[in-house]
Structure formats: structure tokens, C-alpha cells
A and B are shown apart, each in its own frame.
Chain A
Amino acid sequence: MSIATNKLDLFNSLKDREFRAAFNLENVYTSVCFQLRALREQRGMSQLALGRSANPIMAQERISILEDPNAETKPTLNTLLRLADGLDVGLEVRFVPFSKVLDRATHTNMRELEVESFDAEAPEIERDVETEIEIENQVAVYELAWEREIATGASNKDSTPWDESASDAAPKKAPESEHNLYYLKGEWADAARVGAAG
């Protein structure tokens, strides 16, 4: 059966408010149990080792209970934070629309539950942030150039800062997002950068 069919089945069941509330609860705890196991196995850790990495440490038996969706004891937010610390991952608790719940509940491959530790993820975060900064700088350069264009009153087609041939959907006004940077004429942006420096 496809994920879409599973989703449709669940969606129909969720129309019943009692089922919806119950599923919400079970979805949270079942997800936590399985993700905890997935994260532990991803790191090649035993339950004992995971317990020792938590801050403060937890007994192996406690980890075993936390990985069991049938256990009576449910983890508190504080327990999850201790485990997040031990696994060196973030913890996000937020209200979401049911479409998200449906999506998560039907994508249950254990690999999808794995999360890199901060150290493993750090080089990628660094690269992404540097790219974002670069884009922000380019946008700033463009905006400055655009303001100069407005100020000097030059508004003929040849001086438009984007390449209208690049797409039929080329913007007809000042681009507002980095997406529109793709239409920038490189030399025009360079000129703006020189102007900004001067």
C-alpha cells in the first residue's frame, strides 16, 4: 500500500475527534520511543552508553523503558532535554497542523528518524550560513544600486538591473528576495558594488 493510501486512511480516521486526540498522543510517544532507538543505533551506542551520556546520567533500565511504546512511564520534557544533550542533537517541541502529523506518521522509515550530532553537522551549517551571508550581501548591493537608479531618475529599459531575457517571468519591479538575484546582470551589480564602495 502506498504512503498516500495510508495517509488517506488515517485522515478519514482523524475526522473522529476522539481518535484524533488519541492518535496525537500515541504519535508523540511512539515517535519518541522509536527515534530514541534510531538515534542510539545510528551512533552504535548501547542503552547503557546512552544513559551515561545523558546529563545527568540515566540508568540503562530507564533508557529501555523510554524506548518501549508500551511502557507506562512517559518521558517528560526535562528527560528529553537530558537525552538531547547526551545525543548532542536539538529538541524542538511545537504545535503543528495535522497535515504534519499525518506526514510524519506515515513516513516511518527508521533512517528518516536519524539525526546528525552538532559536531557532525557543523561543517554543513557553516557552509549554509556563509552562503546565506553572501546572498544577503548581494541583495544589499542590489538594493543600493536600485535606490541610486531611482534617485537619478534613469528608468529606461536598458538600465534594468535584471536580465529580462532570462525568463518570461522576470520581475517588473525591484526584486524583493534572493530568488530574483538570478536575474541580476553581473556587471551591473559590480558597478553598484563599486558605487557603494565609493
Chain B
Amino acid sequence: MFFDYVDERGTNPIRDWLMDKRIVPVKARAKIQRILLQLAGTALWIRPLASNLDDYEGIVEIRVRWMNTQYRLLGFRGPEDRQFSILFPALEQGDEFVPRSAPIIAVDRMAIVNADRRRIVEHRYQ
């Protein structure tokens, strides 16, 4: 089951990103949501669809390619069993995240979520 990180004011940056057509066109959103739905029913995630980030322990990236854009949803398995929390949405260009700080932000948010379960909400497939 997927969860989205929310900030201290309760704003859901994952949802806002997904619904922003300038960043994620409608067709890309359809693909991202369909893949998330499928992953929710799949126990074993394998490359190239998902992979661990070597330098950021615990952080997993879900990779979705639409047209020539590489979308990356950074998150972690948890805080409970069978849960995956999406922490930060990013793009990948030339082997680098955009923004570059994406994995660092994801690590920070993972610590926040682990400390306070109220900082996630169930992901909505909208």
C-alpha cells in the first residue's frame, strides 16, 4: 500500500506534484498511477522499475519513463510492513536527480515519517 509524505501543515507535496500538469502531463500521470497500482499488488519489486539507491540507505526509487522524461519517485518501505511511503518526487536527467538534493530530502523525510506516523497519508490514485 502506498502512502504520501505530508508536511507539517498537512500539505501533500506528492499529490501537488502529480496534479501539476506543467511538471507531470496528464498522460504521464496516467502511467505513474497505473504503475503504482500494479506495484501495490506486487510483492517483489525488481529493476528496472524499482531499485535501491546505493548511497542513501533505505531509499528506493520507482522509475517511470514517459516520452523522454524520467520520473523518479523516491521513498522507503515502511513505516509499517507492506507499506511504501513516497517521500519526494523528482526527475532524472543525465544520471542526476533534478533537483540534485532529492535523495537527501528523501532521507530527511524518512526520518520524519519514522518519528511521526501522522506525516503520511494514503496515496490517492487521482
A binding-site residues for B, Cβ under 8 Å? 1, 6, 9-10, 12-13, 16, 18-19, 22-23, 25-27, 30-31, 34, 68-70, 105-110, 112
Contacts and interface: CB of A to CB of B under 8 A. Distances in A.
Contacts of B124: 1, 9
A114 to B, nearest CB: 12
Contacts of A23: 30, 33-34
A110 B38 CA distance: 8
Given A13-B125, A23-B30, 20 more contacts: A1-B122, A6-B125, A10-B33, A12-B126, A22-B26, A22-B29, A23-B33, A23-B34, A26-B30, A26-B35, A30-B31, A31-B38, A34-B38, A68-B48, A70-B63, A70-B65, A105-B37, A107-B41, A108-B37, A108-B41
Contact of B27 (A6, A22, A70, A110): A22
For the complex of A and B, the 6 pairs showing the least CB-CB separation, nearest first, are: A108-B41, A22-B30, A22-B27, A70-B65, A23-B30, A26-B34
Interface of B: 1, 26-27, 29-31, 33-35, 37-38, 40-43, 48-49, 63-65, 122-126
Most buried by B among A25, A26, A68, A112: A26
A1 B1 contact: yes
A193 B125 CA distance: 59
A12 B122 CA distance: 17
B125 A30 contact: no
B43 A110 contact: yes
A112 B37 CA distance: 14
Contacts of B48: 68, 70
